[in-house]
């Protein structure tokens, strides 16, 4: 499971396997259409990792909006999935489906480039009380995948504990 620890933003070792994740509160700009079709920008509180790490933890409303807007699958199939493919656009520091599409999530810091291009593929994990976006092919992506699998595996046990 995830472990939250307070630590200075620039003092961190980058050796060995990921055993802890350090979160830093950040204001994220979420741009989407409102019920009348107007673009609305909302400043949301989320969490980012240390410099060089490639994940962002977002409120579920962000994940649900991306899932609903996903161009990849039909609405019934998309609603049943616990992941959503996104792209991170490095020059503008935002997550989205296409450079000019909405919704978009802007982050305050640069995430590490995975290639020489301006974009990196990303996955939005849609499980838990918050949702997580990670850049694909990173140790953070592996951590998120393992955490998501653990949460699914433990869900029945946690449900049983509620009734004890």
Model pLDDT, residue 9: 42
Tens digit of pLDDT for each residue in 21-74?
A: 778 899 999 999 998 999 999 999 999 988 888 999 999 999 999 999 988 755
Confidence of residue 103 (pLDDT cuts 50, 70, 90): very high
Confidence of residue 17 (pLDDT cuts 50, 70, 90): low
5 lies in some domain: no
158 lies in some domain: yes
Tens digit of pLDDT for each residue in 116-155?
A: 899 999 999 998 888 999 999 998 888 888 877 776 777 7
6 lies in some domain: no
Q: Range of 114's domain?
A: 19-162
Count of the separate structural domains present in the chain:
1
pTM, to two decimals: 0.77
4 lies in some domain: no
CB atoms under 10 Å from CB of 138, counted, come to: 19
């Amino acid at each position: 499971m995830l472990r939250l620890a307070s630590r200075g933003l620039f003092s961190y070792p980058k050796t060995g396997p990921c055993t802890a994740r350090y979160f830093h509160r950040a204001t994220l700009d979420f741009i989407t259409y409102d019920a009348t079709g107007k673009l609305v920008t909302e400043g949301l509180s989320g969490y980012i990792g240390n410099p060089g790490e490639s994940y962002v933890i977002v409120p579920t409303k962000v994940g649900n909006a991306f899932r609903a807007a996903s161009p990849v699958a039909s609405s019934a199939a998309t609603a049943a999935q616990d992941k959503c493919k996104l792209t991170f656009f490095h020059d503008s520091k935002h997550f989205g489906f296409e450079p000019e599409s909405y919704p978009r999530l802007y982050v305050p810091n640069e995430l590490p480039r995975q290639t020489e291009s301006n974009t990196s593929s990303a996955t939005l994990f849609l499980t838990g009380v918050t949702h997580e976006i990670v850049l694909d092919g990173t140790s953070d992506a592996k951590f998120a995948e393992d955490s998501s699998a653990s949460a699914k595996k433990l869900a029945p046990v946690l449900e049983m504990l509620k009734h004890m």
